[in-house]
Structure 1
Amino acid sequence: MSEPAPNPYAAPGEADPPKARGTTLVESRMLRFVFFGLLYLAQGIPWGFLAGGYRVFLIDRGLSNEALGAVMQVAYLPWSFKVFFGPLLDRYRGGRFGRRRPFIVLAEILMGVPLLALAAVDPARLGLVNVLLFLHNTFAALQDVAVDGLAVDILPEHETGRANSIMWAGKVVGVMIGGAGAVLAKHVGWQATFVAMTLPVWLIMLVPLLVRERPRGEDTRLAQEGKRLNVPELVRTLRFWPALSGFLLGFVMPAGFALVGTFTTRLYRKDLALSEEALYLLTVIDTPAGVVGALVGGALADRMGTRKTMAMSMTLIGVVMATFASLSDLWPRYALLVVYGATLQIAICSYSASALKFFMRLSNPALGATQFTAYMAMTNLCYSFTARYGGWMADTFGYQRAFFIASVVQVVVIPLLLLCDPRKAEAHFRAEENVAAAPQM
């Protein structure tokens, strides 16, 4: 085994605790948690708008499940561009403003511009609306890469479970805010709604503007001494089977619940005739359930190990979807939709929080954002791919069979987790003392 490359950007480890009242991210644990939680909140707002308000907008214009899925496929596609953004950002060693903050701030500025442009566009011009949302999601993906790269840079291993829980909980809250788009548009119009989606993203931008990654002198030193993307290290990583198989897992693990995402909204809106308010109430109820799921998933990942937590969560997801499919006669009952949505959200967010830690542990710290964000890009590519085929499945086989098929898909991929052991990745990429401190599977 070759010598693991050190990560000069890392925060102090468990044996060297940070200062209690530090004013930078590497000095303050609490500041790290708040910082990443708020930035994931900013990511969740546009994602929630796409998953909620924009889908309702398209459904009300008569799109079929497959057509709706095709539109969502294009909207989600920019998130797979993260596989290219990671190496680009890792070429930058940093400066007075830090290594990741310039990209975070730039991306958040650019995220807001297409949303404001949408306020001046006729919503009936779907082609132009799709182009602007495509641009918005491209910049949102860039922000995501910069935030994840910063997390990989500075989070000590013993903090990743709790931090991932907080990050995913923040995204869930952001999704709830973004999901209000359809209700807001019903009262103030779509143009004003796009402006309202922009404001919180730009307000949260103040956080990376005001909070430094590390003390000023250290930022300057790392700008001169820090490492760019290490190509030999990248080759070494890609030749390591557990790390390489992580790309397959990133693509297939969310496939089951991703298949049902798009057509579930159309089922509720078109077939069950739910109002904008009734749809949004489901999102509001799902939010605390998702926060609980993320926190529980992170805690279980720390205690039991990431693979066991992911397998348990994925099994629960499959059982919940299969149970819902078997109760199709009761779908018009709103109480069933509440219970189904909340339970599914707990399971999905538990999976997501533990998966974040899983992929962070598979990643080589010497590659910064490159490897981890490539894993996340594969997950986002899964969402884009399944959006269309989930819609086709619902149109072809009907909703009940589509839910059953998705539940089976979700469960049958679980054994693939055996391909990747995070302990082996840490032994391969990190120093032995760091491996000894890692929780056992």
Structure 2
Amino acid sequence: MKEKIVKVKNRLGKNLSENVISRYITFSALYTAQGIPEGVTYFALPAWLAMNGKSAMEIASLVSVMLIPWSFKILIAPLMDRFTLLSMGRKRPWVIFGQLGLIISFLNLGLVPDPLNNISGLMIAGFLVNFFGAFQDVATDGMAVEVIPGKEQARANGLMWGSKTIGLSLSLITGTWLINNFGFTFAVFSLATAVVIIMIFPIYFKERPGEKTLPWTPGKASFGAKRIQLKSWKHIFKSLYKVIILKSSLLLCIGIFLLGIMFGLVDTLLPIFSIQELGWTNSNFSNILSVSSVIGGFSGMFVGGYLVDYFGKIRMLTLYLVLVTSLIALFAFMTNLWSSIFVTIAFILSYTTLYTFLCIAVFASAMHLCWKTVAATQFTLYMALSNMGRATGASLLGLLKTNFNWETVFLTIAIIPFILVIIIQFINLKRHRIIVNSFDAIPYELATPPIIKN
């Protein structure tokens, strides 16, 4: 009987470093919080603007500006690695701050006057939403790399990205309906309520035993947090340089940037193509993309992580990239079938599912390459490159569509994953891990407190 009580206690514990269920729930919730404003700013808002006759260049410019803050992540991460309220954990204080900023900036987006005729106002407000979204993302990823054991990373990424996709999808479909029926301000304020509720998770759950829940509550810095906390900027940047110049890390940097360009192109393309080329309404687009994303999200949560664990990261990345290349190229040559809603829905469903699986495999690989000493900064560098690519891709869409037809645009996009298939074959995750292990005086598996090993 006592054993059962202990097991239940472990399952419901509030320390992320020693409780697998708490880790999965908390990081899934935090990624859902990121997906809600992204669903509004990247899809519902552009679709609404496209429905009201705004040009591809205007919409692409708006999206590219909103994506810019995600490139700033590399400037934020070293700050988080260097400074923190250690008694509350290495990254949790920053997670709370980022979540609070996300709530306030998201509410501010709903206050933009005359949004249909105020693209500059939307740019500024959207920029702020994405700045705090990026801030929260950096802190969340840094905390994840530190408290999630290597054996759980692929599975955790599946749950996290599945949750983000579902949050994005539900906010897209709900936000579009609310915009059309109650107006832009009411829609944003309603969805912000969910982001407020999610604040409960980073406040309640702690990184390690003995730490403070809030600054004024009892507790102190844990041994594990103090041992890996860096004391100087010089140490941070020397350590980052030491690990980032390794061959596999450099190749992943190139690959992630190129993949980001593809994501940015397709994300910006979909609402414009479906509404202005195919004649859909913004409601039709939102409903179809939302349902497709939910299917892709659930598939990623329950299948994506396991596939990467079972078959290996590079093998699954290769397969996903080959499938994406084939899918986009095939759709480009099916111009006579674009008018068939079933063909286009099949394309969107296939792409969103592969997108989720790709994100899971890429981010699990990035976590595997990270050195815990500079985990937040290193992982953020990878993600910043991805988001720089997204912003680049979003801005390129306007130029491509102005000079070429849709068929050529799709074929151009299909070249990117084909190039990536070649690049990732030269990434050796095992060799990289051996080299990184040699940087530490203790083995990688012991680089965090033993209590993480359930």
Using the size of structure 1 for normalisation, the TM-score is 0.89
Aligned partners of 2:84 and 2:93 also within 8 Å? no
Aligned partners of 1:93 and 1:226 also within 8 Å? no
* Structure 1 position 121 matched with structure 2 position 128: no
Aligned partners of 1:325 and 1:404 also within 8 Å? yes
- 1:349-360 equivalences under 5 Å are 349-360=356-367
* Structure 1 position 172 matched with structure 2 position 174: no
Cα pair distance change 1:146/1:131, threshold 3 Å = same
The aligned residue for residue 235 of structure 1 is: 241
In structure 2, stretches of 5+ residues that fail to align are 1-8, 212-218, 447-454
The aligned residue for residue 79 of structure 1 is: 70
The whole-number CA distance in structure 2 between the counterparts of 1:60 and 1:173 is 24
The whole-number CA distance in structure 1 between the counterparts of 2:400 and 2:302 is 33
1:336 pairs with one of 343, 359, 362: 343
The aligned residue for residue 6 of structure 1 is: none
Superimposed CA distance per residue, residues 36-75 of structure 1 (whole angstroms, 9 cap, x where no aligned partner): 1111111111111122111123223433323321221111
1:214 pairs with one of 203, 208, 219: 208
Aligned partners of 1:295 and 1:350 also within 8 Å? no
1:196 pairs with one of 185, 190, 201: 190
- Could you tell which deviates more after superposition, 328-337 or 369-378? 328-337
The whole-number CA distance in structure 2 between the counterparts of 1:157 and 1:75 is 33
Cα drift, residue 419 of structure 1: 3.4
In structure 1, stretches of 5+ residues that fail to align are 1-17, 437-441
- Could you tell which deviates more after superposition, 26-35 or 416-425? 416-425
Runs of 4+ displaced beyond 6 Å: none
The whole-number CA distance in structure 2 between the counterparts of 1:61 and 1:403 is 24
- 1:282-301 equivalences under 5 Å are 282-286=288-292, 287-293=294-300, 295-301=302-308
* Structure 1 position 259 matched with structure 2 position 253: no
2:151 pairs with one of 149, 158, 163: 158
Q: Percent identity among equivalent residues?
A: 25
The whole-number CA distance in structure 2 between the counterparts of 1:219 and 1:342 is 48
The aligned residue for residue 452 of structure 2 is: none
The whole-number CA distance in structure 2 between the counterparts of 1:338 and 1:57 is 19
Which amino acid in the other structure matches residue 152 of structure 1? V
- Could you tell which deviates more after superposition, 365-374 or 248-257? 248-257
The whole-number CA distance in structure 2 between the counterparts of 1:187 and 1:285 is 20
The whole-number CA distance in structure 1 between the counterparts of 2:85 and 2:275 is 48
Aligned partners of 2:51 and 2:281 also within 8 Å? no
The whole-number CA distance in structure 1 between the counterparts of 2:59 and 2:105 is 21
* Structure 1 position 382 matched with structure 2 position 383: no
Cα drift, residue 21 of structure 1: 4.6
* Structure 1 position 246 matched with structure 2 position 248: no
The aligned residue for residue 214 of structure 2 is: none
Q: When the two structures are aligned, how many residues end up with a matched partner?
A: 419
The whole-number CA distance in structure 1 between the counterparts of 2:304 and 2:260 is 15
The whole-number CA distance in structure 1 between the counterparts of 2:166 and 2:184 is 21
The whole-number CA distance in structure 2 between the counterparts of 1:355 and 1:226 is 25
* Structure 1 position 276 matched with structure 2 position 270: no
Match of 1:419, SS state, is coil
Match of 1:413, SS state, is helix
Aligned partners of 1:152 and 1:369 also within 8 Å? yes
Superimposed CA distance per residue, residues 264-320 of structure 1 (whole angstroms, 9 cap, x where no aligned partner): 211111222212321122123211133214543322211121111111111111111
Cα pair distance change 1:419/1:88, threshold 3 Å = farther
The aligned residue for residue 177 of structure 2 is: 183
The whole-number CA distance in structure 2 between the counterparts of 1:384 and 1:307 is 26
The whole-number CA distance in structure 1 between the counterparts of 2:393 and 2:374 is 29
Superimposed CA distance per residue, residues 351-410 of structure 1 (whole angstroms, 9 cap, x where no aligned partner): 110111110111111112000111011001111000011232123211112111211222
1:420 pairs with one of 409, 427, 440: 427
The aligned residue for residue 302 of structure 1 is: 309
Cα pair distance change 1:414/1:66, threshold 3 Å = farther
Superimposed CA distance per residue, residues 4-62 of structure 1 (whole angstroms, 9 cap, x where no aligned partner): xxxxxxxxxxxxxx944533111210110111111111111111112211112322343
Which amino acid in the other structure matches residue 79 of structure 1? W
The whole-number CA distance in structure 2 between the counterparts of 1:182 and 1:139 is 23
* Structure 1 position 313 matched with structure 2 position 320: yes
The whole-number CA distance in structure 2 between the counterparts of 1:55 and 1:425 is 41
The whole-number CA distance in structure 1 between the counterparts of 2:380 and 2:424 is 19
Aligned partners of 1:98 and 1:219 also within 8 Å? no
Which amino acid in the other structure matches residue 417 of structure 1? I
Match of 1:96, SS state, is helix
The aligned residue for residue 130 of structure 2 is: 137
2:404 pairs with one of 379, 397, 401: 397
The whole-number CA distance in structure 1 between the counterparts of 2:302 and 2:69 is 28
The aligned residue for residue 13 of structure 1 is: none
The aligned residue for residue 26 of structure 1 is: 17
Aligned partners of 1:118 and 1:132 also within 8 Å? yes
The aligned residue for residue 449 of structure 2 is: none
Cα drift, residue 94 of structure 1: 4.1
Match of 1:248, SS state, is helix
Aligned partners of 1:93 and 1:227 also within 8 Å? no
The whole-number CA distance in structure 1 between the counterparts of 2:86 and 2:335 is 58
